[in-house]
Amino acid sequence: MLITQSAGKFLKRNSTIQLGNNQVDLSIPVVMGIVNITPDSFYDGGKMEDEVTMLKAVEEMVENGVSIIDVGAVSTRPGAEAVSTKVELGRLLPAVQAIHKNFPEIPISIDTFRSWVAVRVVDEIGPVIVNDVSGGILDSKMFETMAQLQVPYVLSHIQGTLKNMQDSPEYTDIIKEISTYFAEKVKKLNKLGVKDVIIDPGFGFGKNLDHNYELLNRLDAFKVFQLPVMVGLSRKSMIWKALDVTPETALNGTSVANTLALLGGADILRVHDVKEAVEAVKIFCEIKASIH
């Protein structure tokens, strides 16, 4: 099975990722829909705690053209309370099982920084994408586990830890420092035999407002890695603070930021609002198709 979206082809190196026997086509940008099974996430905490509500939300995402569902059971907002592996698995496993059962054709990503959680989920439902906001920092076994599982890995940049990352982030040259971070970690992953690596510059993870916008403005610098780039801007503080609104009213700003990210080379948009992101991708594809 080849998972695709209908639009023009803009092929590049590493334009697919392997998920078990299936391929996820990234030759044009795709949308990853966020499903937070948490009581305390910054925007949608507590909204999907029961299975019926969650599956209805996933169904709507599928109808609106989502390509990947990203399920998280631990809030990674700045200052969020830590939860145990047991609690995380207790939330996550039933959710991914239900989504896989009801939407077997949709690739699943799990938002976790724990290698054991990844092992348990793969044992239960098969290959998934592992979206690790810590870039292996919070679990020293994550990289070798990814090599053993042979599943796609989202390598995110973070400065500091989830608890202190927003206290006082500092960079001399943010692009250079993040690029060095990626170069070192991608080398380690490749050496271990991890075949599919997606890089995420980590908007909001150890970055202030100015850092985030410099990163967005220079996103195309990461094309040098010739790896898929994932961007998560959806309703984040860099948008609602700049507009002096709230996360709940930051959808228009999110769409603008997502469009700029696409122009900068983003391959995956990780979002709460799938319909609007898919529309941004379609407009982007029309622009690309008009270039001769």
Catalytic residue positions, numbered: 236, 270
Q: Cα 162 from chain centroid?
A: 16
Q: Is 134 exposed, middle or buried (0-12, 13-18, 19+ CB in 10 A)?
A: buried
Map the chain to HEC letters: CEECCCCCCCCCCCCEEEECCEEEECCCCEEEEEEECCCCCCCCCCCCCCHHHHHHHHHHHHHCCCCEEEEECCCCCCCCCCCCHHHHHHHHHHHHHHHHHHCCCCCEEEECCCHHHHHHHHHHHCCCEEEECCCCCCCCCHHHHHHHHCCCEEEECCCCCCCCCCCCCCCCCHHHHHHHHHHHHHHHHHHHCCCCEEEECCCCCCCCHHHHHHHHHCHHHHHHHCCCEEECCCCCHHHHHHHCCCHHHCHHHHHHHHHHHHHCCCCEEEECCHHHHHHHHHHHHHHHHCCC
CB 271 within 8 A of CB 32: yes
Other beta carbons within 10 angstroms of residue 251's beta carbon come to 17
Of the candidates 210, 208, 121, which has an alpha carbon nearest to the alpha carbon of residue 167?
Answer: 208
Q: Which residues contact 187 (CB under 8 A, 6 or more apart)?
A: none
